[in-house]
Structure 1
């Protein structure tokens, strides 16, 4: 089982966000995505923030070694290369998802990152996003309230670069095409496939599959046809 954030978010809307909560979560995300060593703590003025970040990084590193590493794909992270003695190789598993024809999403890459989940949350529960590191917590709660056990988002796997005129859509502003969030694998998979086949320009698409994981920003990346962009 993944370790959980020891710092609690506000119990009621409008209360101040404990900075240690977001610091720990940011450290954890970095720790589980950068094997084999614990990442260095960023230089910050607040020693309590640095301490909480370092605690999160230690926890993420320990979970990576024990349960498997995760790729910070949409945050520009390098594919994990664990090396000797760091918990074994990183690679895709069987997604368990199949369509009768057309697109294929057989591979499942374990990933971590708040960016695509902020887009999922914004679509699935408009007005819930607060950009304070609470995306995983809020999204898991919304899924529980609605009785949903997983969500899918069609995405472009290559980025065209940051939008010079941000729209407020986190993933699109980072240069990634995306479709509509759906509870249906078939609908999301077909939307991604239709987008990639509608152009003569080669495109790489996939699905972000989110399964509630408490406060963590965990998701699986299912590339269409098991194809990733060059260099990834």
Structure 2
């Protein structure tokens, strides 16, 4: 792919949410020191830094705004970032920035940075930053993504290419214990681009796997369909 074809993916790449084949193509361009892509990615990372509160002078490009809004719940609150931006963002940190960015680009200027929902973002970032958090990826046969599980803090589930839901249906996440029945970890729906981020705060003890099923709207007490995502911990 040419640099011009890859240009729309610079912001997504800087956030860690670019998908193949574009992600692989950008990796290759950067590996051979492509000047145009190197400068474009550097600018995108500068924008990420600006939006996350490290710099305050750069406005979010509309393409990045749409991409982040598609990936993150729109009611996520704001939180001041307390880390510096590395030269190359680790995936988990990119996700944390994506969560924060969704707030930055959606919160009206008149709204104070701290609001009653601040705990929601703090819980997600706490899970991502917990040194003992397990990071498990999934990717076959259709939906793909990652599950971050902190035994003491909770679960952050990030997915793309989720199946289309029929009317009256919802996704439901389950914690599968080593012994006993599945435990509901909440319901969620995907964004327009078939991606989703779902937070289940609170201790996760004795979990052997995390699974996702399609359930009737409102959720079920126990799974009523075969899980289409199962991540063993």
TM-score scaled to structure 2, two decimals? 0.31
Which of the pair is proportionally richer in strand? 2
Bigger relative CO (Cα 8 Å, ≥ 6 apart): 1
